[in-house]
Amino acid sequence: MGEMENVAGLDPALAQHIDALVARKVEEQLARMKPKAPPSMTIIATKGTLDWAYPPFILASTAAALGWDVAVFFTFYGLNLLQKDLSALKVSPLGNPGMPMKMPFGPKWFRGINWNIPNAVQAVVPGFESLATTLMKQTISNNGVAKVADLRKVCIESDVKLIACQMTVDLFGFEHSDFIPEISEFCGATRFLPMAQKADVSLFI
Amino acid sequence: MNFDQELDARGLACPMPIVKTKKALAPMQEGQVLKVAATDPGSVSDMKAFADATGHELLSTETQGNVFLFYLKK
């Protein structure tokens, strides 16, 4: 910049000062002109159990509450989260060592016990998964945590885009009518990935 | 502290206190104050983060027993 000819025969120090000033003013002007876009987030939801239903819906609804632009792509078992009847969602402690097995009833000392029932027993007892699901739902409701259906409703009301993977629909023999009507679109990875690229935050669940 | 609207979010866990706060603020006029009561301990930092992110002013945070009271100005 200093190399430019001082057309008006300006003092070089003054010319340098003017260059710097112009650069700063242009930057300020550009910043003013750029529209202030809210932060954006995309989530890829791949799991379809009761426990894994929470992270995508909680993150999406919270981000929406903060004013963010959110889109969630439901693929593979994540499609379970878009079905009309969410009461079918189950959770299993089988082979799931991260899951605490605490009873949601009884006195405090009783509730504190982690039963850690062995996989071998879980696999043999019929209805174990249904029992675990019921107990998990009780635990969730005891702690004032919303039902998955309510969280999904909040997402819909907050304009979170719920996008379904068409390939998975075909793969598992679903019909569009199995799902809630509020799905923004059925599409593939090619359509979704550019959305993820533009987003400020991109999560894989 | 004076307030124009009140929200009872006691007994609700993340993300409901913030989600309901946003919903309660929506029909309010700029400058009005919303009082939010919550029992979720996480709501203390959540409410501050919500105020920072949305530009609403968190006027004060009080604790009454196990209840947190937040005063938010739109």
Domain tally, chain B: 1
B20, B32, B39, B42 from B14: Cα distances, Å: 10, 25, 10, 7
Cα separation, B34 vs B37, whole angstroms: 10
| Topology at the third CATH level for domain A40-204 | Hypothetical Protein Ychn; Chain: A, (3.40.1260)
Q: What average pLDDT does the segment A148-165 reach?
A: 96
**A61: chain B residues, CB-CB within 8 Å:** 15, 19
Q: What average pLDDT does the segment A19-41 reach?
A: 86
pLDDT of residue A3: 55
pLDDT in tens, A48-67: 999 999 999 999 999 999 99
Tell me how many residue pairs between chain A and chain B have CB atoms under 8 A apart.
38
pLDDT of residue A54: 97
**Residue found under tokens 């929406």:** A64
pLDDT of residue A2: 53
Q: What average pLDDT does the segment B30-35 reach?
A: 95
Residue A70 has pLDDT above 80, yes or no: yes
Q: Which residue did the predictor score with more confidence, A3 or A134?
A: A134
Q: What average pLDDT does the segment A125-150 reach?
A: 95
Strand order in the sheet with A40-45: A185-187, A161-165, A69-74, A40-45, A201-204
Q: Among A12-16, A65-69, A145-149, which stretch is predicted with the lowest mean pLDDT?
A: A12-16
pLDDT in tens, B9-26: 999 998 999 999 999 999
pLDDT in tens, A170-205: 999 999 999 999 999 999 999 999 999 999 999 999
pLDDT of residue A29: 86
**B40: chain A residues, CB-CB within 8 Å:** 144
Q: Which residue did the predictor score with more confidence, A135 or A8?
A: A135
Q: What average pLDDT does the segment A144-156 reach?
A: 96
- Nearest CA-CA partner of A187 in A88, A26, A79, A80: A79
Return the axis-axis angle of helices A148-157 and A50-65, rounded to nearest 10°.
30
Closest-CA residue in chain B for A154? B19
Cα separation, A101 vs A108, whole angstroms: 15
Q: What average pLDDT does the segment B58-67 reach?
A: 94
**A35 near B CB under 8 A:** no
CATH number of domain containing B34: 3.30.110.40
Cα separation, A148 vs A168, whole angstroms: 21
Which residues does A151 contact at the CB level (< 8 Å), separation at least 6?
Answer: A54, A57, A58, A61, B15
Which residues form the domain of B16? 5-73
Tell me what the pLDDT averaged over chain A comes to. Answer: 92
Closest approach of B48 to chain A, Cα-based (Å): 11
Q: Can you tell me the ipTM of this complex?
A: 0.86
The domains of chain A are located at 40-204
